A and B are shown apart, each in its own frame.
Chain A
């Protein structure tokens, strides 16, 4: 397991400049998040050696120098797997041919074709020509191909951007299985915070070619001092454990630091970890524990920070024991409730919000 040290400068054709100096943690999935045009793809291409960076740029991967003023390791020796947004399957080869192209050139111990096919449900596609695949199938083959090349690092450039919900989930499923089995570090480019929240451990926010924020995802999304908290769709991501399935009402009870949280029924065993997204706009606070309310999820929290985000609105940081969430309320309510940091409050979370955003992912 190795960290990635990056010091990159790269100019685009339209005067755009990527200027990044950062270290990414070892053995984890890092999301590179930002609006389109923020330099996410450029960063990946530089990492893979597909794009030349300015002199003075350096890339170190696990102590190996890939790029410096003295050496340049070419793409084909870097052992990176790259999943492009447009699958880029080789048109003259069928699915099996594409997969074999990768495994024949694998430098690490070759992964069994069978295993990869199982992760990504490719068995039925093996003999198909690539032009007879749907977008989702193509992308699964592309992911399989990248895995079979035995990479030390997997780069994914918005691999799910063109896919619909079901195809997306199948790809995510495959990626998770691979990650669990291989402990493969991944850099995952996305402009979709939902995708990011499902996969990443770590997040790097790029804005106009510069690193805006960087840190562990769960921590960063539940803090006020960064740009993520101030987005319209700001949402804290928390990790909870499945405690109980209630078949009668079609709900699942999650345990979030000794408190319980009800969501639409999820697949998974008791004890499985799940990530939930708690959108700031769907959290409200009360001084007293509300009785007789239709809202199922009421958590006791401590108000740890508050910030005025506009004339009308406030953003609160509510902490359980270790994990936190955000709440967006009006300034008027904050004044009327006389909120102060340190107050013990009751946070009400609309279940519907959790349902739509949580999905059934770990």
Chain B
């Protein structure tokens, strides 16, 4: 494999890892909040979270591109804070990926949290556990496997994204050229040997991830989408 491909692999892994970490940090409280409530506000937020499941990624990418462009509020704010342009940057990819993969992390967590009976949390409270303590010592251990699933899905889904990246990232090697884009590139320039390596590698990676997830023997609601 030549250098641009290695760079693309590294970039993809960095993007997926960063996205997954951010998603776990943001998605956990969001999923917890959603799991303990019902009503139309909750339903509305759930709908927004689920949107990337059905929306063509290009639609999300298009709006993000417009939002990130220099001269817009978000674009300007970013420029002032970091001194760099947001559109066509790695950071833009991270933001896009977080939104795009949000349901893949939030939904399995939310389902898992819903299955934690509040009776157990009540019992923990009477034993002196604060709400954070209850979450840490009861909810987390009971949903550990769902966290694994959520993280794997978030990671794998980010690795597989194409449309959003193409719209907001462009095709800058080392900055925004991820694997799926690199694959597109090699096919465009008729380098089929390389394309085979990339495509085959992604198939193996995806299959392996899904196999390991299914084997982890928890309910498969997380994979329904």
Task: List residues of chain B with CB within 8 A of the CB of A78.
Answer: 126
Q: How far is the CA of A145 from the CA of B86 in the complex (A)?
A: 55
Count how many chain B residues have C-beta atoms less than 8 Å from C-beta atoms of the other chain. Answer: 16
Interchain Cβ contacts within 8 Å, total number: 61
Task: For B126, give its contact among A91, A92, A107, A149 (CB under 8 Å).
Answer: A149
Tell whether, in the assembled complex, residue A81 and residue B142 are in contact, meaning their CB atoms are under 8 Å apart. no
Tell whether, in the assembled complex, residue B126 and residue A82 are in contact, meaning their CB atoms are under 8 Å apart. yes
Task: For B124, give its contact among A81, A90, A91 (CB under 8 Å).
Answer: A90
- Interface of B (DSSP majority class): helix
For A80, give the chain B residue with the smallest CB separation.
Answer: B126
Given contacts A91-B142, A101-B137, contact A145 B127 (CB under 8 A): yes
Q: How far is the CA of A86 from the CA of B119 in the complex (A)?
A: 10
Tell whether, in the assembled complex, residue A92 and residue B125 are in contact, meaning their CB atoms are under 8 Å apart. no
Q: How far is the CA of A107 from the CA of B127 in the complex (A)?
A: 10
Residues 101-154 (chain B) with a chain A CB within 8 angstroms: 119-120, 122-130, 133, 137-138, 141-142
A20 contacts B by Cβ under 8 Å: no
For A79, give the chain B residue with the smallest CB separation.
Answer: B128
Within the complex, the shortest CB–CB distance from B119 to chain A, in Å, comes to: 5
Task: List residues of chain A with CB within 8 A of the CB of B124.
Answer: 90, 101
Tell whether, in the assembled complex, residue A48 and residue B127 are in contact, meaning their CB atoms are under 8 Å apart. no
Q: How far is the CA of A82 from the CA of B119 in the complex (A)?
A: 12
- Interface of A (DSSP majority class): loop
Tell whether, in the assembled complex, residue B125 and residue A75 are in contact, meaning their CB atoms are under 8 Å apart. yes
Given contacts A90-B138, A91-B142, A92-B142, contact A105 B119 (CB under 8 A): no
Task: List residues of chain A with CB within 8 A of the CB of B129.
Answer: 76, 101, 105
Task: For B128, give its contact among A50, A90, A91, A106 (CB under 8 Å).
Answer: A106
Tell whether, in the assembled complex, residue A90 and residue B120 are in contact, meaning their CB atoms are under 8 Å apart. yes
Task: For A107, give its contact among B120, B123, B128 (CB under 8 Å).
Answer: B128
Query: B residues within 8 Å of A by Cβ?
Result: 119-120, 122-130, 133, 137-138, 141-142
Query: A residues within 8 Å of B by Cβ?
Result: 48-50, 74-82, 84, 86, 88, 90-92, 101-102, 105-107, 145-146, 149, 155
